[in-house]
């Protein structure tokens, strides 16, 4: 069995779990924020969808990394355990950034609906974790 192929699958799977959790927590906050807006007869900003969508970008990074891990695993099956480790660690690192983005997006949903201000600042804070995922992808690809 080629463990490197398992690592290629795990990088995407683990990241997708983190992204799903992040999107889920932010989506719940967006719905709650919209409810507050509706109750107080304020306009409900559709920009909250932007916050909820941020964790999805991490799945693209994992997909790109998976595309690099697969051929490496086929070419060097004797390094399968190493590639499996790359997939697990990179998947967790990228997945955690997706989860954190969702949690930050949840706070941004509440703050934006309450104040109607700060969209650019909230996007900036949510985006701070994005380079962690990008660097993880790039440095792992360099390590291959």
- The CATH number assigned to the domain holding 9 equals 1.20.120.610
Structural domain boundaries, residue 45 = 3-143
The number of domains in the chain is: 1
Mean model confidence pLDDT for the chain? 94
pLDDT tens sequence across 11-40: 999 999 999 999 999 999 999 999 999 999
Looking at residue 44, its pLDDT comes to: 85
Give 30-37's long-range contacts (Cβ < 8 A, gap of 24+).
30/106, 30/109, 32/109, 32/110, 33/109, 33/110, 33/112, 33/113, 33/114, 34/113, 36/113, 36/114, 37/113
Tell me: pLDDT of 1 over 80: no
The predicted model scores a pTM of 0.89
pLDDT tens sequence across 40-68: 998 889 999 999 999 999 999 999 999 99
Looking at residue 59, its pLDDT comes to: 96
Looking at residue 70, its pLDDT comes to: 93
């Amino acid at each position: 069995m080629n463990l490197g192929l398992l690592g290629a699958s795990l990088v995407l799977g683990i990241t997708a779990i983190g992204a799903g959790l992040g999107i889920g927590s932010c989506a719940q906050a967006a719905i709650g924020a919209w409810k507050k807006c509706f109750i107080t007869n304020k306009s409900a900003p559709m920009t909250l969808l932007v916050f909820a969508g941020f964790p999805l970008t991490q799945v693209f990074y994992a997909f790109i990394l998976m595309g690099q891990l697969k051929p490496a695993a086929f070419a060097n099956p004797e390094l399968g355990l190493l590639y499996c480790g790359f997939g697990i660690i990179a998947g967790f690192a990228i997945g955690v950034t997706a989860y954190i983005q969702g949690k930050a997006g949840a706070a941004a949903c509440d703050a934006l609906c309450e104040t109607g201000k700060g969209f650019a600042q909230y996007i900036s804070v949510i985006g701070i974790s994005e380079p962690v995922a990008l660097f993880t992808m790039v440095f792992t690809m360099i390590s291959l």
